[in-house]
Amino acid sequence: MELNGKAVIITGASSGIGAATARHLAARGAKLALFARREAEMQSLAEAIRQDGGEALVVPGDVTRSADVQRLMRETLAAFGRLDALVNNAGMGGGLNLCDTRDDLLWRVLEVNVLGCALCAKYAMPHLPPGGVIVNIGSVAGEVATVGMYAASKFAARGFNDALRREVKGRGIRVVLVAPGFIRTEMTAGLRYRMPGPEIVARAIEQAIRSPRRKIVVPWWYRPLMYLGKIPLIADAILGNPKTQARYRDRDSVKKLSA
pLDDT at 196: 61
pLDDT at 252: 40
Catalytic residue among 123, 150, 193, 248: 150
Which amino acid, 215?
K
Q: Which residues contact 158 (CB under 8 A, 6 or more apart)?
A: 138, 142, 143, 177, 179
Q: Which has the closest alpha carbon to 57: 90, 40, 35?
A: 35
Q: How far apart are CA 8 and CA 238, in angstroms?
A: 40
Helical residues (DSSP H) of 113-222, grouped into ranges: 116-124, 148-167, 199-210
pLDDT at 231: 58
How much is the pTM? 0.87
Instruction: Please give the domain boundaries of the chain with CATH numbers for all domains.
Output: 7-248 (3.40.50.720)
pLDDT at 229: 63
Question: Helix, strand or coil for residue 103?
Answer: helix
- pLDDT tens for 133-147 read 999 999 988 888 776
150 is catalytic: yes
DSSP class of residue 111 equals I
Q: How many CA atoms lie within 13 A of 208 on its CB side?
A: 32
pLDDT at 189: 54
Residues of the chain whose pLDDT is less than 50? Answer: 241, 244, 250-259
Note whether 230 and 144 are within 8 A (CB).
no
pLDDT at 223: 74
pLDDT at 256: 43
pLDDT at 205: 98
Which amino acid, 171?
R
pLDDT at 257: 40
- pLDDT tens for 83-141 read 999 999 999 886 567 787 888 999 999 999 999 999 999 999 999 999 999 999 999 88
pLDDT at 247: 52
